[in-house]
Amino acid sequence: MLAIQTTLAAPLHAERSVTSRAQLARFLRGICLDIGADHYILVQPSVERGPKSVRIISSNWVFDALEDFGSEGIANLIESGNTTGVGERPQALTPETSPFLSTRERAGLVEHGHVELYCQKLSACGTMAFVLFSSHISGQIQPTALTLAHMKCCYGLAQFFKSNDNFAANDPLSERERECLLWVSEGKTTDEVALILGVSANTINSYIANAIQKFGANNRAMAIATAIRSGII
Amino acid sequence: MLLEVSTLTEIPGFESEQAAAHQSPWLNKPASSLLATARNCQQLAVHLNADSFHVFFLVSHGETCRLIPATDTDAPGITQISKDLTSRGSESFALAIDEATQPLWWSSDDRIRPLTEEARHWAFEISPPSGAPHGVAFPVGLEHGRSGAIVFAGDAITVDENRLCEAHARCFSLFENVALHRAPDYAKLPSLSKRELECLRLTADGLTSDDIASALGLSVHTANQYLTNSTHKLNAVNRIHAVAKALRCGLIG
């Protein structure tokens, strides 16, 4: 009896248990309905695959649109700095006013009905992700509703990450490698880190070399910068 | 003599601020002062039916972490609740906030539920920390590792699903304002020259001194000098440390 009551009392588009990818997709479709968006795509910047690459977690874009726009286009959009953090005023993007996209990418967006886009930055369980909402007519997405939905996306994603470790772990480093990088970022030299962790300096150097290789970085400084930027340390 | 409501609105600044807050609840612009931000927090507390609000910074040292009071209902003073929540006995509370993305709630009375059933779905129940028998905590994490929480305490708090999201989103912008004014590490940023910042940024992108010199059209010695200067200014021990510090306090992106 109680269960029936809660279902009835719940708002129309509410999926509140987000543990599987099917539920995540349903949750995001519900949010699209709430804010007036036609399409969503949820991506994670991918450290392992190098710069300008993303990993798509969930999306209702048609395959052709994704192929035309490409994950590089999505990475360009994210890196252009036109993303909105939680609590910030949503910012609408249109293909015409996005000089950071190539002509082909812009044409691809318009052709597949992504006329107005909102790119929201999400942070859940220490991992960063981005969700892109789009509509085929401008003005259809409600910015006020989007601000609430933005927070809810963070909650949904946090629930999803808790039950799907492989997605949350956008961290290619081993615990030891992470520890080494953390100390190096605090200004410690190889010898000092060796002393702190109680292993030889050669071991420390090999941990750091591994981390540099995993990030595809040129040197230590770049590896540290990559690790800080992606929130690993 | 008490001022009447109509006279209150005639006081310069009062009406305009109220009107602005009414038009755009998502205040994005930095508040003029810490006290103005505290007033905005108080408005949110009233909105949630809470007795008090408490803003904390979260500082982690390796495995342990602790909360530092930033401001609260008694601004510019500090309430007893803020002191209790940051005391030695409240480490588990700090840990819970450190790990959380979603709101946390607690109540020491089964009959009192600060969140509605739908809202509870997005939040986690924790055991009541000492000092505040009933409350809700909104964990906030900004870029460059700046994190903390805004806690609302009181036995009459009522928050539904939409209000939970709204309040949490507002906490992000409020916390950012508080961090601008209060955070010790971020407030006193050393002033680096444009060239020094450029060299640091290129170092973070993996360029060597030689690369930087040719990219900026300088000699290698000049590039090195810029990097040495910025290392001193940031009070860092070496170049990598300087890059890490500059990234963490947002001097370079």
pLDDT digits (tens, 9 = 90+) for B99-156: 888 999 999 888 888 888 888 889 989 988 888 889 999 999 877 667 899 999 998 8
Quickly count: other Cβ atoms within 10 Å of residue B17's Cβ: 14
Q: Which of A115, A139, A168 is the last residue of a domain?
A: A168
A68 and A34 in one domain? Answer: yes
Q: The domain spanning residue B171 has which CATH number?
A: 3.30.450.80
Indicate whether B158 and B203 sit together in one domain: no
Whether A102 and A135 share a structural domain: yes
- Whether residues A30 and A101 fall in one domain: yes
Sheet containing B52-61: order of strands: B64-72, B52-61, B147-153, B134-141, B104-107, B124-125
pLDDT digits (tens, 9 = 90+) for A157-178: 999 988 887 766 566 788 899 8
Q: Does A198 touch chain B (CB under 8 A)?
A: no
Here the CATH number for the domain that contains residue B193 is: 1.10.10.10
pLDDT tens digits along A168-225: 656 678 889 989 999 999 899 999 999 999 999 999 999 999 999 888 888 999 999 8
Two tokens, residue B142: 């900004």
Look at residues B142, B169, B186 and tell me which one is the last residue of a structural domain: B186
Q: Which of these ranges, A44-48, A126-130, B13-17, B24-28, has the smallest mean pLDDT? A: B13-17
B101, B143, B204 ranked by CB distance to A221: nearest: B204
At B6, is the pLDDT very low, low, confident or very high (cuts 50, 70, 90)?
A: very low
Q: Is the domain of B135 the same as that of B181?
A: yes
Lowest pLDDT segment from B2-6, B58-62, B183-187, B226-230: B2-6
Which pLDDT score is estimated for A180?
92
Q: What is the mean pLDDT of chain A?
A: 85
Q: B149 and B221: one domain?
A: no
**pLDDT value at position A227?**
85
CATH number at residue A218: 1.10.10.10
**Does some domain include residue B13?**
no
Q: Which of the listed residues B153, B170, B186 is the one where a domain comes to its end? A: B186
Report yes or no: B185 at the A interface, CB cutoff 8 Å: no
**Which of A103, A198, A118, A202 is closest to A153 using CA atoms?**
A118
Tokens 């691809």 belong to which residue?
A108
**Residue A15 predicted with pLDDT over 80:** no
Q: What average pLDDT does this structure show over A100-125? A: 88
Q: Tell me, yes or no, whether A164 and A179 share the same domain.
A: no
Q: What CATH number does residue A33 fall under? A: 3.30.450.80
Q: Are residues A34 and A147 in the same domain?
A: yes
Contact (CB<8Å) B207/A9: no
Give how far A132 is from chain B: nearest CA, Å. Answer: 18
A121 Cβ under 8 Å from any chain B Cβ: no
Q: Do B222 and B133 fall within a single domain? A: no
A91 reaches B (C-beta below 8 A): no
Strands A116-124 and A92-93 turn out to be: antiparallel
Q: Is residue B204 part of a domain?
A: yes
Structural domain includes residue B145:
yes
Give yes or no for residue A51 having a pLDDT over 80. Answer: no
Does a structural domain hold residue A114?
Answer: yes
The percent of residues above 90 in pLDDT, for chain B, comes to 30
| Residue at which a domain ends, from B166, B186, B206 | B186
Our count of domains for chain B comes to 2
| Residue B105 and residue B60 in one domain | yes
Question: Which residue range forms the structural domain that includes residue B204?
Answer: 189-248
Domain boundary among A168, A184, A217: A168
Q: Are B34 and B182 in contact (CB under 8 A)?
A: yes
Range of the domain at A197: 175-229
Q: Is residue A131 part of a domain?
A: yes
Residues A91 and A152 in one domain: yes
Does residue A8 lie in a domain region?
Answer: no
- Is B34 contained in some domain? yes
* pLDDT number for residue B232: 92
Give the mean pLDDT of chain B: 80
Same domain, B139 and B234: no
- A87-91, B27-31, B62-66: segment of lowest average pLDDT: B27-31
- Do A31 and A140 belong together in one domain? yes
Is B101 part of the contact surface with chain A (CB cutoff 8 Å)?
Answer: yes
B122:A219 CB<8 A: no
- State the average pLDDT over residues B49-68: 82
Residues 109-138 of chain B with CB under 8 A from chain A are: 117-118, 121-122
Residue A11, chain B, CB below 8 Å: the answer is yes
| Residues of A whose CB is below 8 A from B141 | 123, 126
Is A198 part of a structural domain of the chain?
yes
> Do A156 and A191 lie in a common domain?
no
B101, B197, B209, B247: which to substitute to probe chain A, counting the most A Cβ within 10 Å? B101
The yes-or-no verdict on residue B20 having pLDDT over 90 is no
Determine the number of helices (DSSP H) and then strands (DSSP E) in chain A.
Answer: 10, 5
From A148, A168, A188, give the residue that closes a domain. A168
User: Which of A9, A157, A217 lies at the smallest CB-CB distance from B206?
Assistant: A217
Q: Find the residue in A nearest to B141 (Cα).
A: A123
Q: Do A229 and B165 touch (CB under 8 A)?
A: no
The answer on A135 and A186 residing in a single domain is no
Is B60 in CB contact (< 8 Å) with chain A? Answer: no
| Whole-prediction pTM | 0.74
- Are residues A22 and A75 located together in one domain of the fold? yes
Q: What is the dihedral of CA B168, B171, B173, B174, to 10 degrees?
A: 160
Q: Which residue of B has its CA nearest to A149?
A: B165
A128–B contact, CB cutoff 8 A: no
Average pLDDT over residues A19-33: 92
- Which residues of A fall within a CB distance of 8 Å from B102? 154-155, 158-159
Facing residue for B28 by CB, picked from A10, A89, A229: A89
Is residue A105 located within the same domain as residue A197?
no
CA-to-CA distance for B174 and A74, rounded, in angstroms?
A: 30
- Regarding whether A162 and A180 lie in a shared domain, the answer is no
According to the model, what pLDDT value does residue A2 have? Answer: 42
**Crossing angle of the two packed helices B161-182 and A143-163, in degrees rounded to 10:** 90
Give the residue-averaged pLDDT of A54-63.
90
Q: Which of residues 144-163 of A touch B (CB under 8 A)?
A: 144, 147-152, 154-155, 157-159
| Tens digits of residue pLDDT in B215-252 | 999 999 999 999 999 999 988 999 999 999 888 777 78
Chain B: nearest CA to A110, how far in angstroms? 30
Q: Are residues B51 and B171 in the same domain?
A: yes
Establish if B157 belongs to a structural domain. Answer: yes
Identify whether residues B104 and B119 lie together within a single domain. yes
pLDDT range class, residue A4, cuts 50, 70, 90: very low
